[in-house]
Structure 1
Amino acid sequence: MSAIGVHFGYTCACVAIFKDGRADVVANDAGDRVTPAVVGFRDTEQIVGLAAKQGRIRNAANTVVKVKQMLGRRFDDPETKAHQTETKCQVVSKDGKPYYEITVGQQPQHVAPEDVAKLIFSKMRETAQSALGSDTSEAVITVPFEFAHAQRRALREAAEAAGFRVLRMIHEPAAALLAYDVGQDSSSGKSHVLVYKLGGTSLSVTVLQINGGIFRVLSTKTDHGIGGESLTQALAQHLASEFKRVYKHDVSSNARAMLKLMISADMTKHSLSSLGSANCFVDSLHDGIDFECNVSRARFELLCSSLFNKSIQPIRSVLAEAGLSTSDINKVALCGGSARIPRLQQLIREMFPDVELLNSAPPDEVIAVGAALEAGLLVGREGLAPEEESVTVDVSAADILLKEVDEAGAETFTLLLPSGTPLPARRHHSLPADGQLSSLCLEIYQRFSSERPDLLSKMILRELQPMQDNRCIDAVVTMKRDGSLHVSCVDRSTGRSEAVTIAAAATSSTLLTRSKQKATDVLSEDPRSFMTPFQAPPILKYQRKRGEGEAAGEGQDLTMIGVVIHV
């Protein structure tokens, strides 16, 4: 019995296979265990991986990088605008969605980000199936915490279009902890674990509480302003300065020369994680001049010292948000390619001197390994004993808010259903309003974590009769187990009412009990879900082991066992 785990990152992708009870990362046809998430388009072919990354020097306009940033987004999304400033490949709008404009042959082609992701997933599937020697397609895909429903669905659809049968999508921190077998012993008692991930373009820090095999996310923070590319950029600027010092030519404004230096600096950075010094060589950097420079690890650490300090600052803010100190953390897990850097590991060790640092597995591979372990569990589910079955409790994954505007025009958000509310749930809220108003607009929002609230729906009470005193509007919000949201409002004085129902979108679930007491924080999506003009907030499913003599059934009262997952 075999299965596949895939970690699709912003800059790289990694695939692991589960076979004969163990999970291992497999190398691609170039012998690399991690594949650059880069796709180059040429007249008759699409190139994925290192060859596309290296060919970007000559084919930048037709080479797509960081496609994960574009998945499931609209053209006017701020992330799309940010991506446009970072890529040489033209991004155009088509029906309000972003497309890459690829010029091959006589006519330009418009390629959707999901189609680019499909090519990368196809490469991962071919790599895994070649190692397995079979056409196994069952896979678990990892997803960042900050991904909204649209991004998760786009990632899933790209994987399925590439031939994968997606069993589940799980959070990246949970996958990393699975790889290290953290929290799988339900008798180990309560502990706190910090997952530190420094990838190519982003930094994420997550604090989890583990108790009896249950993962509870206490706090998480993602910063897209720093990543491994920030370190590479600092080294490339140093190399440009060295070239100017020796050859009296400034290449800092030469896009092609700087791209060459970035590629060389990236390889040098990787070498310095295991060597004390590394040689950087660039063929024909400028005016036919070959450039060679030796960089020591000490020099690299000095160049990036401010970036290293910036990289560990979020740890303290996440701990403060969780109400913990460094002494409360029992383990720190490292993941992401840039977490290999010795100086960064040293700074984290200094912050947590008495804590076990989990870094024995390559940080850029550990998430894929955890995904493969989860996939192996899911494909073997048929063999679960009856006592290992689970029952579920649905809860809201997002805050549900009502926006009110006072006479001065100031906006106030009232929290009606906080994330983690067991479903079904019903909330009543009274709103005072001016008696002279002839109409009243109510807006319902959802909010994930500390993000800006997103509008779900609005309703308008029209033709209100003027009255001397202030009027009172009663709003009732009801969320069902399937995630559908029903909102009604009534003018108490006249009885005039309006109502709106926001149909359920895809649900997400958190698995709390599994074979042999194992547990992981998981996001899954129902492929039968549908979209409506106003998308209902997704829900989380909490599962726990059924006690002795407890009958199956969804409608029974269940005792929540300290399960509050922060999404």
Structure 2
Amino acid sequence: MDRRRAIGIDLGTAYSCVAIFQHDKVEVIPNELFERTTPSYVTFTKYRRLVGSDAKYQADANPNGTIFNVKRLIGRRYDDAVVQNNLKHWPFQLVIDLEKPKIMIEYKEQLKLMTPEEVSALILRKMKQIAEDHLGGPVTDAVITVPAAFTDSQRQATKDAAVIAGLNVLRILSEPVAAAMAYGLHNQISGLRQILIFDLGGGTTNVSVIVIYKGVLDVKSTSGDVQIGGEDFHIRMATYFIEKFKREHNIDLSKNKHAKQRLRSACEQAKKTLSSSTQASINIDLFHENIDFKSTITRTQFEKINDDLFVSMRTIIETTLRDAKMDKSSIDDVVLIGGSSRIPKIRDLIRDFFNGKLLNQSINPDEAVAYGAAIQAAILSGNQSEQLERILSLDVAPYSLGIEAKDGQITTIIERNTTIPTKQSRTFEVSPSYQADKIVTELIEHDERRPKLPMTPFLNQKCDVDIKVFEGQDGLAINNNLLGCFTLSDILFSSDVAPQIEITFDIDANGILNVSAIDKTSQKENKMRVTNDKGRLSESDIESLIKKLERYDLENN
């Protein structure tokens, strides 16, 4: 048995998929029901915990105990707009704990709080088990994919979930890059190809422009919307039918969790039907009390209630091309991934945008991301297959990264869409002032042409310099996402020249950021690995959750 074999996992909002590269090809691994994708659902019944297909089957009967869409929670604060916008649509109970969202469930007649990382770990553990059952032995190493637009915090939290699940993460890989790797290997691309990946997942929409040349995948730009995904079509349809039921029966079911979950499940199936038919039926027996609900929706009606989402998708494509400094005529292939990319309106919209270009359908949209993750896993685990010899992926930073400087302005150190891994430094001068007899400081980017700041009033005194790290595109710090803060202490004003601080941002191949700062005079240094959330799981939290997961396994057997 090869101890270095590694799997690729597409940890999806709605469905997850696992694959492995072996015998010179990628193999998508089916679950125990011979399904090639597994629902990203976890259910707690009175006596058991269920994950995957079994959990999804329980959702209608046990809405309060069934957790899904956890990918929209992981790495976010409770007050995040995405969390707040989805609260009213989730049947399970969400509570705030140290500014983080936690899920309250009842299990073995006790109320328990679960972190999003813990729920994701259960799904990852399921995918790990699927692979182990198929391969006949333990698997530890994995590449796990995330949306291109995932923040540093969300990537870190996903990695934490994998550790809880008993996995060693070789790489956190962006989904469009994984899809491009699948496209490149499947189509045996050897020359220059410029492709656009349109990724409509369950929870996000991401578009990336990727150039493939001699096996090197170079991401030129990526853009997206974290509030548009396949799940949102289900929500729109369910809202449409709840209003229709209200008109017909004068009964408002908008707060009835059980009815909404049954309707949501029916709408998911109707959405799939509308991809191949012009009309779909909704038939729910005893929908409310003794009332059966029977209705239909046409493809035209579906497109009308989601029209603004389609408009937004076109805008994302335009933004991505503009950021890549490319015209749409220079795109050789348009590759669609994600189950909802099968929606005819989306395909028509993209085809029309590219002036009738045929869409590339060479790879399965449900499996492409796991397929690419398996390729990356094989490369990182040292697989010597000739098929993999020339494949190299270069991802980009999805957001600009910088620090708060004077007057609350942002000074960008790494620009959005910079190829990663990358390491970049800037030098700043300390700008001091007195406030209530205390020295407070701001940072100004060093410029040899600017007149020197007078330091005489501060000579031989010491100060602390706070370094606040942000991600986002706005020029004002307050309008961006604070990733973290650390301090350089006891900086001495030793001359009439302002102390200079060199700040370095280092993003690794997983898209995870490390920041360091050094006083160029004293060589005092401090650094931080950005966690983006003071409520992030500590090492002891992770260890505790690993043991908790092991107890769940024992109780379930």
TM-score normalised to structure 2 length: 0.75
Q: Could you say what secondary structure the match of 2:235 adopts?
A: helix
2:487 to 453, 458, 461: 458
Rounded to whole Å, the distance in 1 between the matches of 2:83 and 2:309 is 25
Aligned to 1:44: 47
Rounded to whole Å, the distance in 2 between the matches of 1:332 and 1:393 is 19
Aligned to 1:500: 525
Q: Could you say what secondary structure the match of 1:358 adopts?
A: coil
Q: Is the alpha carbon distance of 1:227 and 1:480 closer, same or farther for their aligned partners in structure 2, counting shifts above 3 Å?
A: closer
Q: Does 1:34 align with 2:37?
A: yes
Offset from partner CA, 1:62-81 (integer Å, 9 cap, x none): 22222223334555666555
Q: Does 1:24 align with 2:27?
A: yes
Rounded to whole Å, the distance in 2 between the matches of 1:265 and 1:394 is 36
Q: Is the alpha carbon distance of 1:464 and 1:86 closer, same or farther for their aligned partners in structure 2, counting shifts above 3 Å?
A: farther
Rounded to whole Å, the distance in 1 between the matches of 2:327 and 2:419 is 24
Which has the larger displacement, 454-463 or 370-379?
454-463
Task: After TM superposition, give the deviation of residue 272 of structure 1 in Å.
Answer: 1.7
Aligned to 1:216: 218
Q: Is the alpha carbon distance of 1:244 and 1:132 closer, same or farther for their aligned partners in structure 2, counting shifts above 3 Å?
A: same
Kept after mapping to 2: 8 A contact 1:401/1:444 = no
Aligned to 1:486: 517
Which has the larger displacement, 99-108 or 221-230?
99-108
Aligned to 2:352: 350
Give matches, 1:75-474, under 5 Å: 84=87, 86-94=89-97, 97-181=100-184, 187-189=190-192, 191-244=193-246, 246-247=248-249, 249-353=251-355, 355-381=357-383, 401-405=402-406, 410-415=407-412, 427-430=426-429, 431=444, 433=453, 442-448=465-471, 450=473, 452=481, 454-459=483-488, 472-474=498-500
Rounded to whole Å, the distance in 2 between the matches of 1:232 and 1:335 is 18
Q: Is the alpha carbon distance of 1:194 and 1:59 closer, same or farther for their aligned partners in structure 2, counting shifts above 3 Å?
A: same
Offset from partner CA, 1:49-90 (integer Å, 9 cap, x none): 344334334433322222223334555666555565553433
Q: Is the alpha carbon distance of 1:334 and 1:289 closer, same or farther for their aligned partners in structure 2, counting shifts above 3 Å?
A: same
Q: Is the alpha carbon distance of 1:360 and 1:341 closer, same or farther for their aligned partners in structure 2, counting shifts above 3 Å?
A: farther
Whichever residue aligns with residue 40 of structure 1, its letter is: T
Whichever residue aligns with residue 458 of structure 1, its letter is: T
Kept after mapping to 2: 8 A contact 1:232/1:265 = yes
Rounded to whole Å, the distance in 2 between the matches of 1:391 and 1:12 is 27
Rounded to whole Å, the distance in 2 between the matches of 1:251 and 1:398 is 40
Rounded to whole Å, the distance in 1 between the matches of 2:397 and 2:299 is 48
Q: How much identity, in percent, do the aligned residues show?
A: 30
Task: After TM superposition, give the deviation of residue 252 of structure 1 in Å.
Answer: 4.0
Q: Is the alpha carbon distance of 1:207 and 1:421 closer, same or farther for their aligned partners in structure 2, counting shifts above 3 Å?
A: closer
Q: Is the alpha carbon distance of 1:177 and 1:350 closer, same or farther for their aligned partners in structure 2, counting shifts above 3 Å?
A: same
Task: After TM superposition, give the deviation of residue 342 of structure 1 in Å.
Answer: 1.5
Q: Is the alpha carbon distance of 1:265 and 1:384 closer, same or farther for their aligned partners in structure 2, counting shifts above 3 Å?
A: closer
Whichever residue aligns with residue 198 of structure 1, its letter is: L
Q: Could you say what secondary structure the match of 2:242 adopts?
A: helix
Offset from partner CA, 1:159-203 (integer Å, 9 cap, x none): 3443444433322111111222269867513x4221111122211
Q: Is the alpha carbon distance of 1:85 and 1:133 closer, same or farther for their aligned partners in structure 2, counting shifts above 3 Å?
A: same
Which has the larger displacement, 65-74 or 37-46?
65-74
Kept after mapping to 1: 8 A contact 2:486/2:528 = no
Rounded to whole Å, the distance in 1 between the matches of 2:427 and 2:121 is 45
Offset from partner CA, 1:111-155 (integer Å, 9 cap, x none): 232221121112212323333344444432112223344433432
Q: Could you say what secondary structure the match of 2:170 adopts?
A: strand
Give matches, 1:525-540, under 5 Å: none
Whichever residue aligns with residue 487 of structure 2, its letter is: K
Q: Is the alpha carbon distance of 1:452 and 1:212 closer, same or farther for their aligned partners in structure 2, counting shifts above 3 Å?
A: farther
Kept after mapping to 1: 8 A contact 2:148/2:398 = no
Alignment: residue pair count: 494
Q: Could you say what secondary structure the match of 1:321 adopts?
A: helix
Kept after mapping to 2: 8 A contact 1:183/1:210 = no
Kept after mapping to 2: 8 A contact 1:183/1:211 = no
Task: After TM superposition, give the deviation of residue 15 of structure 1 in Å.
Answer: 1.9
Aligned to 2:71: 68
Task: After TM superposition, give the deviation of residue 221 of structure 1 in Å.
Answer: 1.5
Structure 2 residue ranges without an equivalent (≥5): 430-443, 445-451, 474-479, 509-513, 532-537, 541-557
Whichever residue aligns with residue 474 of structure 1, its letter is: Q
Rounded to whole Å, the distance in 2 between the matches of 1:127 and 1:286 is 38
Q: Is the alpha carbon distance of 1:403 and 1:226 closer, same or farther for their aligned partners in structure 2, counting shifts above 3 Å?
A: closer
Whichever residue aligns with residue 501 of structure 2, its letter is: A
Which has the larger displacement, 193-202 or 16-25?
16-25
Task: After TM superposition, give the deviation of residue 392 of structure 1 in Å.
Answer: 13
Offset from partner CA, 1:379-419 (integer Å, 9 cap, x none): 4535789x9699999999986645332xxxx3233345665
Offset from partner CA, 1:298-318 (integer Å, 9 cap, x none): 332343333322222211122
Q: Is the alpha carbon distance of 1:329 and 1:120 closer, same or farther for their aligned partners in structure 2, counting shifts above 3 Å?
A: same
Rounded to whole Å, the distance in 2 between the matches of 1:421 and 1:138 is 22
Kept after mapping to 2: 8 A contact 1:12/1:34 = yes
Q: Does 1:476 align with 2:502?
A: yes
Task: After TM superposition, give the deviation of residue 344 of structure 1 in Å.
Answer: 0.8
Rounded to whole Å, the distance in 2 between the matches of 1:31 and 1:394 is 33
Kept after mapping to 1: 8 A contact 2:7/2:20 = yes
State the superposition RMSD in angstroms. Answer: 4.1
Kept after mapping to 2: 8 A contact 1:17/1:132 = no
Kept after mapping to 2: 8 A contact 1:74/1:98 = yes
Whichever residue aligns with residue 123 of structure 1, its letter is: K
Q: Could you say what secondary structure the match of 1:357 adopts?
A: coil
Rounded to whole Å, the distance in 2 between the matches of 1:398 and 1:251 is 40
Structure 1 residue ranges without an equivalent (≥5): 491-496, 507-528, 532-567
Rounded to whole Å, the distance in 2 between the matches of 1:390 and 1:359 is 21
Kept after mapping to 1: 8 A contact 2:31/2:130 = yes
Task: After TM superposition, give the deviation of residue 249 of structure 1 in Å.
Answer: 4.1
Q: Is the alpha carbon distance of 1:280 and 1:40 closer, same or farther for their aligned partners in structure 2, counting shifts above 3 Å?
A: same
1:13 to 11, 16, 23: 16
Task: After TM superposition, give the deviation of residue 223 of structure 1 in Å.
Answer: 0.8
